[in-house]
Structure formats: structure tokens, C-alpha cells
Amino acid sequence: MTQTAAQRQILVVEDEDIIRNTLAEFLEGEGFDVTQAASVTEGLNKAREQDYQVAICDIQLPDGDGIKLMRQMHKLNPSLFVLIITAYGTVESAVDAFKGGAFDYLTKPVIFDDLSNKLKRVFEYRDLYLENQKLRRELEQPHRFDQIVGSSEPLKALQDSIAKISVTNSNVLLVGESGTGKELFARAIHSAGPMKDEKFLAVNCGARPVELLEAEIFGSDAPGASQPGILRISASGTVFLDEVARLPMGTQLKLLRAIEYEESMPSGGSETYQVNCRIITSTSEDLLRLVGEQNFQEDLFYRLDGVKIRIPPLRERLDDIPELVDHFIAKHSKALRKRAVSATSETIRLLMAAQWKGNVRQLDNAIERAVIMCDGTTIEPHDLPPDLLGMGQPLPDTDDLRSALRHYERLHISRVLRQWPDKREAAKRLKLGLSSLYRKIEELSIELG
Ligand SMILES: Nc1ncnc2c1ncn2[C@@H]1O[C@H](COP(=O)(O)OP(=O)(O)OP(=O)(O)O)[C@@H](O)[C@H]1O
């Protein structure tokens, strides 16, 4: 998407006040959103606070050089494009600037026409570059299913499995924590299968009187309570039984029969009917454990477990978060008629450090809230739900100060470690020595993710 000049943010790092102010004035006149910094330290701080699209940096700054600053800013934001300002006639420094990753350079005194042309080029190139990256990501995913967002290695492997299984029309068990996308994957399997034009019918097997549940699944011919039942009306489509472990034991036997003999009987009826559909089941529980506890039929378990797909929790595929965030921002901005278009790198970094016990559904809800709270077009860390990073953790259940301090210490160190998994970096942030950090991890029994 091409942005207008007003949406484009430029950081100008130049120590000479008069040059910096003139540049800023000119750029603002051209419609850019300009932030000024007079040193490496200030420039770096600004780059940490916000993502700029372009930075214009003087090569010589009072506390360091612009090329080093450019390298550090690239680490924070790899899609930042930099124009370096060099003194007139210093070819070597222009070469250094290119080697260091600058897009182009300007010589002092800066000529506005030259600056305008170079900026025009940089933004055109940047749009093409980002578009190209997006296309490349899409091309790298041969089995991409439209609705499934993410390109982490675990998700790619999952998409491969789904692509293979969907064409066979066999029954499938999807195993994954709540909110990982089991229903979404069930729909994807159906839509990529040979019977994609037939019906997809879903039922949640939890919390319902057994008669109602059985009528809904197998049908009922009882007078006054007749129901077709999804196994009967799905014909050769797909039936999705969500949370299959919640089926009562007797109902599980009926399901086993429907799968084994490919036929079923409605309650209160006297004639069997053919079951021709694909049956996709899902569970967030450990079925084998339930079999051990005699809460799940062993035969049904072996039937279902044959073709099983595990959907990894979000914490095992954090690389999907940036794409999911973009996807949910677009979804909610549209629904809420808001202008939010992106999240800052800091926001993404915080999101990647959160625990996500509620998986993708929780991320979806967090972004919805952030889109509502967001004032401008960019989602900032303060727009996120406050309890996301453990700020809303339960209070310690003791009045003893020492235990309470240990409790907070554990929470704080765990949060920093999630955010900075590299222990050296975490120790630096915590202002602890590395060995002290290791000692604390052991003393406080901190689990490492
Ligand atoms: N990879 C993904 N890409 C896009 N949206 C996703 C993805 N995974 C999950 N979602 C979305 O997250 C929400 C939760 O997904 P879904 O209902 O399929 O999860 P579930 O595992 O079936 O949850 P539950 O077990 O609680 O029923 C849905 O809005 C779904 O569209």
C-alpha cells in the first residue's frame, strides 16, 4: 500500500541546530512527519520509541559517527532506509556509508532539490522492496491456505500435513490447546478436500443434556422431538465434532459404531442410515490419559488416534505473531472503522514475550482491544491489555513480606526472561551479573520457556 507523505515518518539526526531545523522545516513543508535528534544517543532513543521509515543522519556527530548509529538503528528496525549526510568532497565517507547499508548520501550543504529527488526514490524503492518481500513470503508457501495466517516452521509443517491429509478424505483428530485454531484447520481440511462443495457441519460436544447432543449428532425420529442429525444430513461432506472428549461414554460408543460400520441409527428410530461423511474430531485434552482414567472409550481412542494432527500452541511458534498481528489489525480496524494500520516494533517485541495461554484467540482479542484504544494509526505498547505481560498476575497469598518479595521477584525475572530469552541480555536489563541470574533462576524455580 502506498502511503501519503503525511503518513511517512522521518528522523533527522544532525548536531548543527541551524541545519537540522532548516531540514525539518523543509520536510514538514513537504508533508512529512519529522522528528529531530542532535546526537547518536538521542537518535537511538528516538528510534527505540518509534519506527521511522527513513532516517537522515549526519556522518559526524558529537558522541559518535552516523554509520554506527545507522547499524544500530537497522538492528531495531531492518526496514529503515537511511540517507547519510557527508561533508562535501569526502568520497571515502560516502563509500563507507554505502558499505554500512545506507540507501544513498547527501553532501553538505544539502540542496533541497537533491534531497527531494532522493527521498522520492527512497520511498518508491521502499514500497517496492516491501511488496517484493511480501510476495516472496507468499511464494515460499506452496500449501498456503487462505485463512491460515503465519509462516513459522511449525505452521509450514502443519500446512504440509493438512494438504496431504485433506486430499484423502480420511477421518482426522486435531489435538491442540484451546484457541490454537482447531476449527479453522478443520475447515481448511474440508475446503481443500475432494468433497469441498458438500456441507461442513460443526457441533461442540460439551455441556448439553445427552439426549439433545445425541439428537444433534445422530438425529432423532422421536415424535415431537425429531431432528435430522448432522451425520445424516451432511451426506458426503464433513462433520466436525469439537471437544470430542466431552461426549458421555455411551455416546462415544455410538460414535465408534458410526465410524466403524459407517452407519448409525437416530434415537427413537428403527432404521439405520449410511454415514458417508468425513468425521473430523478435536480435543484439547490428553485422550490417552482419559482412557487410563476410564473416561474415554479405548477402542474409539485407537480409531481416532490413527490420523492425528497436533496444532502447536502459539508459544511454540512465536514467529507467527507479527503476521497474525497485521492480520488482526486489518480485521478489527475494518470492523471498528478505525485507522490503525500497524504495530510498532516495541509492541511486537512485547507481544512475542507474552505467554498466550489462550493462544491465537487471546491474541485476536488483545489486538481488538488495542485497535479500540489506539489513538493514531500505530499500535503502541500502552494500547495493549495491561495484564498481558504478567502485570495483572494474582497477588501472593501471604502477608509475609519476604515471601511477597520473592513472589514479585520471580514474576519480574520470568517476564524479563520471556522478553529477552538471551540470558546475557536479560541479566543486563535486570542489572544483575550473569551468574547471579542463574542463581536466582534456580533459587526461585523459574521455568525457562
Ligand atoms: N493461524 C491462524 N490464522 C488466522 N486466524 C487464526 C489462526 N489460528 C486461529 N485463528 C483465529 O483464532 C480464533 C480461535 O480459533 P479456533 O476457534 O479455530 O480455535 P480452537 O482451537 O477451535 O478453539 P477452542 O478449542 O477453544 O474451540 C478464531 O477466530 C480463528 O479464526
The predicted-structure confidence for 223-252, as pLDDT tens digits, reads as follows 877 888 999 998 889 999 999 999 999 999
What are the b/e assignments for 135-158, b being 16+ CB within 10 Å?
eeeeeeeebbbeebbbbbebbbeb
Q: Once rounded to an integer, what is the mean pLDDT over residues 72-92?
A: 81
| Ligand 1 atom with minimal separation from the 242 CA | 27
What's the grid cell of residue 302?
Answer: 485407537
Distance 348 CA to ligand 1 centre (A): 20
Residue bearing the bigger pLDDT, 24 or 7: 24
- By CB atoms closer than 10 A (0-12, 13-18, 19+), residue 192 is middle
Contacts of 383 (CB under 8 A, 6+ apart): 347, 369, 370, 371, 373, 374
Which residues' Cβ are closer than 6 Å to ligand 1? 148-150, 176, 178-184, 242, 284, 327, 360-361, 364
User: What is the overall mean pLDDT for the chain?
Assistant: 88
Alpha-carbon Rg of the chain, whole angstroms? 29
Distance 359 CA to ligand 1 centre (A): 8
Task: Give CA angle at 247 (242, 248), nearest 5°.
Answer: 175
Residue bearing the bigger pLDDT, 17 or 390: 17
Q: How would residue 396 be classed by pLDDT, with cut points 50, 70 and 90?
A: low
- Asked if pLDDT for residue 391 goes beyond 70, the answer is no
Q: Which of 141, 148, 172, 183 to mutate to test the pocket of ligand 1 (most atoms within 8 A of CB)?
A: 183
Kindly provide the ipTM of the predicted complex, given to two decimals. Answer: 0.97
Q: How would residue 1 be classed by pLDDT, with cut points 50, 70 and 90?
A: very low
What's the grid cell of residue 378?
Answer: 500505530
Q: Where are the alpha helices (DSSP H) in 236-310?
A: 249-261, 287-292, 298-305
> Which residue puts its alpha carbon closest to atom 29 of ligand 1?
361
Residue bearing the bigger pLDDT, 354 or 182: 182
φ, ψ dihedrals at 22, nearest 5°: -65, -40
- pLDDT single digits (tens) 406-426: 877 888 888 788 777 889 988
Q: Where are the alpha helices (DSSP H) in 77-229?
A: 91-99, 112-139, 153-166, 182-191, 210-218
What's the grid cell of residue 51?
Answer: 519506527
Q: Using the 8-state DSSP alphabet, how is residue 35 labeled? A: E
What is residue 397's predicted lDDT score, i.e. its pLDDT?
65
- pLDDT single digits (tens) 111-147: 999 999 999 989 888 888 777 776 765 565 555 577 8
Q: Are the CB atoms for 377 and 338 separated by under 8 Å?
A: no
Distance 95 CA to ligand 1 centre (A): 50
> Which residue puts its alpha carbon closest to atom 13 of ligand 1?
361
| Ligand 1 atom with minimal separation from the 327 CA | 4
Distance 188 CA to ligand 1 centre (A): 12
| Ligand 1 atom with minimal separation from the 180 CA | 21
Q: Once rounded to an integer, what is the mean pLDDT over residues 358-380?
A: 93
Torsion angle defined by CA atoms of residues 121, 127, 128 and 133, in that order, rounded to the nearest 10 degrees: 140
- pLDDT single digits (tens) 258-296: 999 999 999 888 889 999 999 999 999 999 999 999 999
Contacts of 345 (CB under 8 A, 6+ apart): 51, 76, 77
Q: Which of 282, 360, 362, 365 to mutate to test the pocket of ligand 1 (most atoms within 8 A of CB)?
A: 360
Distance 174 CA to ligand 1 centre (A): 12
Q: Where are the alpha helices (DSSP H) in 192-277?
A: 210-218, 230-233, 249-261
What is residue 88's predicted lDDT score, i.e. its pLDDT?
65
Q: What is the largest CA-CA distance in the chain?
A: 96
Q: Are the CB atoms for 177 and 217 separated by under 8 Å?
A: no
Distance 361 CA to ligand 1 centre (A): 6
Distance between CA atoms of residues 242 and 398, nearest Å: 40
One-letter amino acid for residue 83 of the chain? L
- By CB atoms closer than 10 A (0-12, 13-18, 19+), residue 268 is middle
| Percent of the chain's residues with pLDDT above 90 | 53
Distance between CA atoms of residues 147 and 370, nearest Å: 22
| Top mean-pLDDT range of 7-11, 232-236, 309-313 | 309-313
pTM over 0.90: no
Distance between CA atoms of residues 221 and 231, nearest Å: 14
Distance 181 CA to ligand 1 centre (A): 3
Distance 183 CA to ligand 1 centre (A): 6
Residue bearing the bigger pLDDT, 326 or 399: 326
- Asked if pLDDT for residue 50 goes beyond 90, the answer is no
